[in-house]
Amino acid sequence: MTEYNTRPLEGIKIVELATFIAAPCCARYLADLGADVIKVERPKGDDLRYTAVNEGRPFGDPEDTSFTLENTGKRCVTLDTKSAAGREALEKLIANADIFLTNWRQPALERAGLDYDTLKVKYPKLVYGIVSGYGEKGPDKDLPGFDFTAYFAHSGVMGTLYDKGSEPMMPLAGFGDHQVAMSLASGVLAALYRAEKTGRGDKVVVSLYHSGVRDVSLYLIASQYGDKSTQYPIRKAELTNPLNSARRTSDDRWFMFSVPAYDRLFNKFVGEALNRPDLVNDPRFYPQTNLVNHLEEWDALFNEEVAKHDVKYWVSQMKKADLPFAVCQTWDEILKDEQAFASDILTEVTFPNGNKRTMVRTPVMFQDTELPEYKPAHFLGQDTREVLAELGYTREQIDAMIAAGEATDTVRIG
């Protein structure tokens, strides 16, 4: 039973003028919290409505899992913001908003008069959240940026986090975007709190590049000292704490061991989990200062021991030793993972074509606030008439805008 009848952001209005993932994901999370999010799309719609081929799923919004993932809970309005009438409607939406979210590049925003400096004069209480590729200063500030480029490649993620001699990881769409989204949400909520107290809004900027650099920052900073253990990419055999690494089991699975406190837990690990009591206090490998001269020897030994048993054995051993571990699961396994369903990470959603798909919730849970039912995202322009009517437009005016192509009502893609 929930303690509160309302969600934390009920009564807050948000206008989203954004495409693809990062900014829409932020707005989706705020919608989960109760905000009235109005997503403004161009007449052809958000590009994310057209990515079915990339994901091997049916084309069209009757089963658009990708668009739903980032846009559930929003009202979808379609306006030609380049037309006078469409722009006027957008301006009215912003005038009534508490938060404006976008991922347009700065030059485009300035040309459209939608940059922060312009809007804050008219709407001083407005909180303005923007996703950028590389930030708003420096030589790359106007470059187009996606998570493949700005987050994975430029930030040092792809250029460092792989076993030396192999290839960089295969980047995954949305990976960096989702992290940016939650950072942006925390920023705009802080700005909203101050705006409610002072009447003064602010501009919150989160870039994919900054987020990626922040995510590798612990070792990025350590690399300045020049120790070979921090000069990534490196070979797994050169890790100064090889107990934090994935190893191949006898059934050809990858098992992630994690023993960060090497000196404190080495003897427990080798004696109990590895079942090699003969290695306790072995001067070649313990303490860790001795290990650095025997890394190759330990790597070969560790691989050999892990390869003797299957993944179930190692799960049992690590549980008995009460040490951190995880099986490197495939997506098929995650979609059936009891823990994922028990902790409300996954839920089943029925789409307009009748198919049921497993969907992922945003990763913030409340104890006393019930989050909304997970429903398919709205069709392109599904809420245009409703929202324009709320702004004071008559039925005849709305009909005229739609007839002129300045707005669009429900369009079913696919």
Predicted confidence (pLDDT) per residue in 341-376, tens digit: 999 999 999 999 999 999 999 999 999 998 899 999
Could you identify the residue written with the tokens 């009447």?
199
Report yes or no on 191 lying in a domain: yes
- pLDDT for the residue 79: 98
Q: Are residues 79 and 145 in the same domain?
A: yes
Cα–Cα distance measured from residue 404 to residue 83, given in angstroms and rounded to the nearest whole number: 10
Q: Are residues 368 and 302 in the same domain?
A: no
The residues that are catalytic are 177
- The tens digit of pLDDT for each residue in 302-330 reads 999 999 999 999 999 999 999 999 999 99
Report yes or no on 397 lying in a domain: yes
Instruction: Give the count of domains, the chain.
Output: 2
Q: Are residues 55 and 174 in the same domain?
A: yes
Last residue of a domain, one of 272, 297, 327: 327
- pLDDT for the residue 414: 83
Q: Are residues 297 and 364 in the same domain?
A: no
Cα–Cα distance measured from residue 10 to residue 362, given in angstroms and rounded to the nearest whole number: 18
Average per-residue pLDDT in the chain?
96
Q: Are residues 132 and 185 in the same domain?
A: yes
| CB 161 within 8 Å of CB 154 | no
Beta-bridge mates of residue 408: 78
Cα–Cα distance measured from residue 67 to residue 357, given in angstroms and rounded to the nearest whole number: 13
- pLDDT for the residue 164: 93
Q: Are residues 148 and 54 in the same domain?
A: yes
Beta-bridge mates of residue 191: none
- The tens digit of pLDDT for each residue in 5-31 reads 789 999 999 999 999 999 999 999 999
Q: Which long-range contacts (CB under 8 A, 24 or more apart) does 369-373 make?
A: 369/2, 369/3, 369/4, 369/7, 369/8, 370/2, 370/7, 371/7, 371/32, 372/7, 372/31, 372/32, 372/73
- pLDDT for the residue 2: 59
Q: Are residues 357 and 387 in the same domain?
A: yes
Query: The dihedral of CA 96, 100, 104, 107: what is its sign?
Result: positive
**46 confidence band (pLDDT: 50, 70, 90):** very high
For residue 304, give its domain range: 236-248+254-327
Report yes or no on 341 lying in a domain: no
Report yes or no on 342 lying in a domain: no
pTM of the model: 0.94
Question: Helix or strand or coil: residue 94?
Answer: helix
**118 confidence band (pLDDT: 50, 70, 90):** very high
Which strand (E) or helix (H) includes residue 195? helix 175-198
Query: The dihedral of CA 312, 316, 317, 319: what is its sign?
Result: positive
Q: Is the pLDDT of residue 240 over 80?
A: yes
Q: Are residues 317 and 361 in the same domain?
A: no
- pLDDT for the residue 73: 98
Cα–Cα distance measured from residue 273 to residue 413, given in angstroms and rounded to the nearest whole number: 54
| CB 38 within 8 Å of CB 14 | yes
Q: Are residues 52 and 150 in the same domain?
A: yes
What distance lies between CA 207 and its chain's CA centroid?
13
Cα–Cα distance measured from residue 362 to residue 43, given in angstroms and rounded to the nearest whole number: 28
Q: Are residues 50 and 191 in the same domain?
A: yes
Report yes or no on 2 lying in a domain: no
Which strand (E) or helix (H) includes residue 39? strand 36-41
Report yes or no on 106 lying in a domain: yes
How would you class 288 by CB atoms within 10 Å of its CB: exposed for 0-12, middle for 13-18, buried for 19 or more? middle
